[in-house]
Amino acid sequence: MGMKLAIFSDIHYCSNADEGYFKGVQRKLVHYSLPVLNKLIDEINTGRFDVAVCLGDLIQDIDDYGKDLENLYRIIGILNNIKVPVYTIPGNHDMRSLTTDDIRQVFGYEKSSFSTDIAGYHFVFLSADGDNKVKNNSNKPLLTQRIEDNDLKWLEQDLAKNELPCLIFIHFGVAEDDMKDNFWFENNSEKALLYNRHDLKEILQIDKNILGVFCGHQHWTKYIKENGIDYYSIGSLVENVELDGTPDGVWFEVDLDEKSLNIIEHHIKLDK
């Protein structure tokens, strides 16, 4: 029993190439999102992979409903060029101006959070609540950073029934981290993490079948082991990590074999 996954995150496509600035730096190289993504798709389509997973933030929103919806449809159309089953969960930028119903319609999913069994493995895809703009202690919105209570109840029941090796996929970080040296979140680590992560971890920590939890959002690639669970954060395809105008192009090749996984970190390089 074995299979190979391709996992990537934070494409941040935007038809406006001037988006993606923070602290005066274009940290998200949105103009490279399509070239990097298309080159990654070529790699996935070599025949070596069984499943592909995108961990959210397909678009760099401009908080314009019509344009954000148009951009999201475009990226979903491109992802459909992948020749193996591809699963996508929304990120905060995908949901800033769109509703949960919009997201389900674009992605073609009946439910926001769901699971599926493939080749002897149990995959769980958790979506945050796009209609709930939770606020932090400073009364500022933590956009879409909460899993619905009904989805948590569903997850608890789903994992209780499952006996297969399991992988969890979610956009926001779950493992505790102070975000030291993180460009985006060092001064506000809560924005990097799921708002009700402690409720989620109470469910995850009693399950003995979880091989790993994969998240995006934080724009860096990092591994944390917490209470016996392996958490993997994967950076953005378009992150300007070295501030040299080159997209990071990071993605994971994950080999599953019985009850173990092996992760190889790759970086897409564009021809200059």
- The predicted-structure confidence for 138-181, as pLDDT tens digits, reads as follows 665 566 799 999 999 999 999 999 999 999 999 999 999 999 99
Q: Residue 250 — φ and ψ, nearest 5°?
A: -75, 140
Eight-class DSSP state of 30: G
pTM reported for the whole predicted model: 0.95
Please compute the mean of the pLDDT values over residues 36-56 and round it to a whole number.
Answer: 98
Find the angle CA(172)-CA(178)-CA(183) to the nearest 5 degrees: 75
Q: Quickly tell me which residue has 């009946």 as its tokens.
A: 110
From first CA to last CA, the distance across the chain in angstroms is 41
What is residue 208's predicted lDDT score, i.e. its pLDDT? Answer: 94
Closest of 84, 72, 108 to residue 6, by C-alpha: 84
How high is the mean pLDDT of the chain?
A: 94
136 Cα distance to chain centroid: 22
